[in-house]
Chain A
Amino acid sequence: MSRHQAFRNVQSTVSEHLYGDEDYYSDEAEEELSAEDKAAMEQGTADVRAALGVEASKVTTEQIQEALWHYYYDVDKSVTYLLTKFIAPPPPKAAKSAQKPHSGASAYSTTKSFLSALFKDMPWGNIPQERVTVFVEPQRPRGGLLGGSGAAPKLTKLQQLALARKKKVEQQSSEEQAEDTREKLGELSMKEAPSLKENRLSEGGGFSKRQKLSDTTAAGRLLQREPAATDAEKRPTAIQRRSHLRDSSGQALSSLDGAEERAPEAGSPSTPFQPLPRSAADEPSHGAEMAGPSDFAQTLFGSPAVEPEPPANKLFALPYMAYCPSLADAFSKPSPDDVVLAAQAKAGKKTATAAATKKKGGGADSVANDVKALKIDDAPLPKSKNFNVLHEFEKSKSKKTASFVVVGHVDAGKSTMMGRLLLDLKVVDQRTVDKLRKEAEKIGKSSFALAWVLDQRTEERARGVTIDIATNRFETESTVFTILDAPGHRDFIPNMIAGASQADFAILVIDASTGAFESGLKGQTREHSLLIRSMGVSRVIVAVNKLDTVDWSKERFDEITHQVTGFLTATGFQPKNISFVPVSGLHGDNLVNRSTNPAASWYQGPTIVEELESSEPTTRALNKPLRMTISEVFRTPQSSITVAGRIDAGSLQMGDALLVQPSGEKAYIKSVQLDEEPVDWAVAGQNVVLHLSNIDPIHVRAGDIICDPAQPIQCLDSFTLKALAFDFLMPMQVDVHRGRLHSAGTIESIPALLDKVTGAVTKKKPKIVKPAAVARLVIKLASKVPLEAGQRVVLRSGGETVAAGLLE
């Protein structure tokens, strides 16, 4: 490459020189030579003679000096000029001739020999003569600016522009190779992934190694995140990677690159204008009966002595080539991508980074930039890395993930308790809480400061009540937990249902202060327990909160334990799955740290976090087709359609195509985020954030279901439900809740009452279903919503939960 570049540079300086001297020509040509000129002339003449060797006798000294004068003492040029002008027939060496091929025929004769050498190992080198077609460069005006002589004509600006464009086109044509390169680079970051403790992408989710390595801040952050050991471990991997790249890219290049590398060696460096490669291969195409020498022979012995005129009827001009003198030129060099790959291959043994290698050679840098630019253009769809996600999941030694929902009566202190938990676990720092406290004091609600960690909405803060589910996360040594802080107010039970549907287990917060427990038990404590049980949550930790207000009274705790156990078992929880912890959410006793209050010393059981850690999340439906309920849709810088939710079943990865139901629109995953960090894939049970592309925002709403396009979920407007009644059921209007989905519907008919244990029909077409009875219901919805068998549905009416059941 550099050789080409250098050659071109020389050429252009020469031509500039020439043209720059034009004035000199016209004005001072008649003047006597100066002393230096004379000396230079003598030296030049001697050099030329030496260069010409035997042929020197064929030219006179005047001729040499004339040439030297015109070429401004450039020996090479003069020799070339002399050879073509005066020494005829031109010897094989005269292939050096830089004479502009004015016609197809002359180009043919001057370039064929080195071309045959150039393409001697090409597969088409052995094509029978009579079969091959000769492409001849058509007659055309010389182009370029007038003036000068045998050197390449100086291009006009317009031509230069055209040339530049042509190059771009050429680059695009070699896109495949670029793709190949990128794939390899992609592999690199994939290889790196397992060496990290999770499948986290190191930075920004980008797979460009070049970018990654050159970005020192990124590297710095990497170091921060990973322990030093991991970093050290990473380095050998990087080297491995590079050698892998060298191997594969070397192989990939062997044919093309090899040929092109050889080209400049075999041919003379002074061949800026090559006719189309094919014409070279066809070179000995005279007379069908005459067998031409093999390529090898040709290389050994030069071209045949006789140069018969090629048959006129075999010449075909390429019409679309007619105006582009640069086209052939463009292919005479390795493509920019080859250059990059070659550079990488060369750099393989050194430990220098690939980025540094690429910066070798002035052209490579700009080429790299071009490749970067190309990448943006041709990536409308995110590219899948085609992981076997389940396999990767098994491989990754990641922590358990679990999510839990915090439920309880309004003002039981759910949000405050979670705020304190996050503070004690150092997920939020004291400064943030102090700031919140200051803000809270301003509106006279300083005790809400901890709750404000989770209650971020203006309305929530102003009214001091959680309205929507708040999501947050924290890590313990064994598990990554997702907190779903549910609203306690009865008006926001739809939001609470959305939260409960994403949870593995639940923390039921009970206000132990006098009177509050009793009112809670009648209120949402009861309804929430029913709901979490109906949503399939079987493990519940009861946090008996605000015990500090009753002086950590053990009697109060025991009383509450007794009552709550009673109604929880009645709701359907098994006693072994219920545990009680006395806590103070405001002060943080028994949340993360054991209570230091002597009055609370009677309790020696596990804290809330310990209880959480000992809970096993339910098994995930990893092998089922993908289902994910969208719980939130919002905008992020990465994508205007970013959705969050929990994967109910199956798995997904970056680049996957998805179907959003009920709109039935397709979307692609641009990137996946798990716990605020970009990952390549995610599986059931994880709460993820997906950045989508290729879909209009109006098609994506909270409550929609994202599914596998191959196995889409059906949209139904009528379904059968096997439901447990909490209230009287009759044909009536109900609100149908399934996760975030909230739709209006009616109980159309009640086909049968069922036996609770056996499920057998006990009565057909009952008039009414009584509380605690199980019945089959036919529900009709106002609009089509995505539902499928086995899903848990909650029916509400008039602000009460009336039934919950499984879709049949």
Chain B
Amino acid sequence: MRLAGSKKAMADFADLGGSEDDIVSLLPEEPEDMWHANNLIGPGDIIRAHAIRKVNRTTNTGSTSSERVHTDLTIRVTSTFFDPAASALHVSGTVVKENGYVAIGQYHTLDLELNRAFTLLKPSGWDSVAKETLQEALRPEAGDDLAAVVMQEGLANICVITEFRTILKQRVEHSIPKKRSGASDMDSATKAFFDKTLNTLLRAVEFDPAHPRTLLLASPGFVATEFRKYMLDLGQRTSDKKLLAIGKGAMVVHTSSGHVHALNEVLKSPEVQAKMKDKKFYGETRLMDDFYTRLRKDDGRAWYGLQPVTRAVNEGAIGPGGGTLLINNSLFRNMDVATRRKYVDLVDRVKEAGGEARVLSSDHESGQRLDALGGIAAILSYPSYDLDEEPEEEGGGEEGGENGAAEGTMVV
């Protein structure tokens, strides 16, 4: 994403309120930028972008004609829709500036396009989170993306892990007969499954020889190893240099299952860590792991849910000395201004208190884990045991250990 300083657009916005500083013109250059745009654009914002609109005209004689016109439209956003697989962003709203084709108040859905600038005005001003998002969006692309195939027997999830999100490109399912039908049936079915997975992988993910992309193959058991072997064998047999290169560069990682959420384990593995240390999502994954560990230990420093976290912030418990606020960016997206302000307020206050506030991408596995916890969690600077509503029965981490060994009857 680049800033596209267009004076003309700025001038257009002059009469819509808001200062000149609140107006920004952006040029999305990559699919990833659409995701950033989705994080930036919220309800209530005013956006001006290129639009194609179907216009119906009625002539004096009463005959109608319809034509598609290219025009620039300015709308007040009511909702956005982001298609993660296609990286397409659709912004709906009402027209606030009329022109020859549309009147004020008419609805329009803008399809933001790559390499066409749009101008964004936040009438309520840019808050800290929005500014940070903008900065993130404007940062030059840091390194390449990862492709990952998380698989188990008969199931493969083909994902692309970018700086900010994990995109599930395709899910491959193939029924592999079990033992009873004999070994040959199984081998041929496994081969067919590998074939299907490889074809889908090559179609879904672009492997450009100029920018080698790391491929992660993750599975329980030997599926990933076998798959890599299959790629290499096939590459050798067909003397497909490209396939050979991909196969050779592929990293096999062990996971406990073939579901997408096993990616967490992938990112934890030392092989991957060595490669990904500088990535944003790596830090996020580590933070989440840290949080879970603390939660397990029940040391009183890990809390999740809006209510306890808000209380912690009020008490100033998320401060210097390891205090971290974890918040999903999905909480800032598509929400009314008041709610958004509440969350932004939390972030600002943590920062004021000297704590760290991390906005996690809800499109990453770590963000998904945080989502399960309600989208917001915190590691406190000091233990606090009474942040939830019913503080009477808290702690008691000792009871668990004894019960495990003593009870003869299991209540399951």
Contact = CB atoms under 8 A, between A and B. Distances in A.
Interface of A: 456-459, 463, 467-471, 489-492, 494, 533-534, 569-572, 574, 631-636, 644, 689, 697, 701-702, 722-724, 728, 730-733, 735, 742, 744, 746-748, 754, 756-757, 759, 762-765, 767-768, 770-774, 782, 792, 796, 798-800, 804-806
Contacts of B406: 570
Given A728-B295, A744-B259, A634 B177 contact: yes
A765 B369 CA distance: 19
The 3 closest A-B pairs by CB, nearest first: A799-B256, A634-B181, A770-B400
Contacts of A754: 411
B390 interface: yes
A759 B304 contact: no
Contacts of A631: 178
A733 B368 contact: yes
15 contacts: A457-B183, A468-B178, A490-B256, A570-B405, A633-B175, A634-B180, A724-B410, A728-B295, A732-B372, A744-B260, A763-B390, A765-B390, A767-B304, A773-B399, A774-B412
B261 interface: yes
B136 interface: no
Interface in B218-232: 220-222, 226
B393 A748 contact: no
A172 to B, nearest CB: 39
A275 to B, nearest CB: 62
Nearest to A456: B183
A701 B368 CA distance: 28
A541 B158 CA distance: 43
A742 to B, nearest CB: 8
Interface of B: 175, 177-183, 185-187, 220-222, 226, 254-257, 259-261, 264-265, 292, 295-296, 298, 303-304, 368-369, 372-374, 388, 390, 393, 397, 399-401, 403-412
A572 B408 CA distance: 5
Contacts of A756: 403, 407, 411
B400 A773 contact: yes
Given A459-B226, A631-B178, A756-B403, A798 B221 contact: no
A768 B377 CA distance: 14
A733 B407 contact: no
Given A471-B180, A731-B372, A746-B372, A767 B388 contact: yes
B397 A770 contact: yes
A3 B254 CA distance: 83
Nearest to A727: B296
A735 B259 contact: yes
Contact of B257 (A494, A632, A759): A494
B180 A644 contact: yes
Contact of A730 (B182, B259, B292, B368): B292
A702 B155 CA distance: 12
Contacts of B179: 456-457, 468-471, 632
B412 A724 contact: yes
B400 A458 contact: no
Given A731-B373, A764-B390, A457 B186 contact: yes
Given A730-B292, A767-B304, A569 B256 contact: no
B253 to A, nearest CB: 13
B393 A763 contact: yes
Contact of A757 (B226, B304, B368, B411): B411
Contacts of A757: 409, 411
B404 A570 contact: yes
Nearest to A455: B179
A213 B57 CA distance: 86
B185 A634 contact: yes
A730 B412 contact: no
A805 B407 contact: no
Contact of B181 (A470, A635, A805): A635
Given A572-B408, A763-B393, A733 B261 contact: yes
Contacts of B401: 771-772
Contacts of A774: 411-412
Nearest to A492: B221
Contact of B220 (A492, A571, A636, A702): A492
Contact of B180 (A458, A632, A728, A732): A632
A633 B260 CA distance: 25
A723 to B, nearest CB: 7
Tell me which of A762, A770, A792 has the highest count of chain B C-beta atoms within 10 A of its own C-beta: A770
A572 B178 contact: no
B400 to A, nearest CB: 4
Contacts of A644: 180
Given A471-B180, A632-B178, A792 B412 contact: yes
B295 A730 contact: yes
Contact of B399 (A489, A569, A722, A770): A770
B368 A772 contact: no
A569 B390 contact: no
Given A468-B178, A772-B404, 15 more contacts: A570-B404, A574-B408, A632-B177, A632-B178, A632-B179, A634-B185, A635-B181, A722-B412, A728-B295, A759-B411, A767-B303, A767-B388, A773-B399, A782-B259, A798-B265
B392 to A, nearest CB: 9
Contact of B185 (A468, A635, A767, A770): A635
B350 to A, nearest CB: 20
Contacts of B178: 468-469, 631-634, 702
Given A534-B412, A572-B410, A701 B175 contact: yes
Nearest to A566: B405
B390 A772 contact: no
B393 to A, nearest CB: 5
Contacts of B222: 459, 463, 467
Tell me which of B220, B261, B369 has the highest count of chain A C-beta atoms within 10 A of its own C-beta: B261
A702 B296 contact: no
A444 B382 CA distance: 59
B406 to A, nearest CB: 7
A84 B340 CA distance: 113
B410 A533 contact: yes
Contacts of A799: 220, 255-257, 265
Nearest to B403: A772
Contacts of A732: 292, 369, 372-373
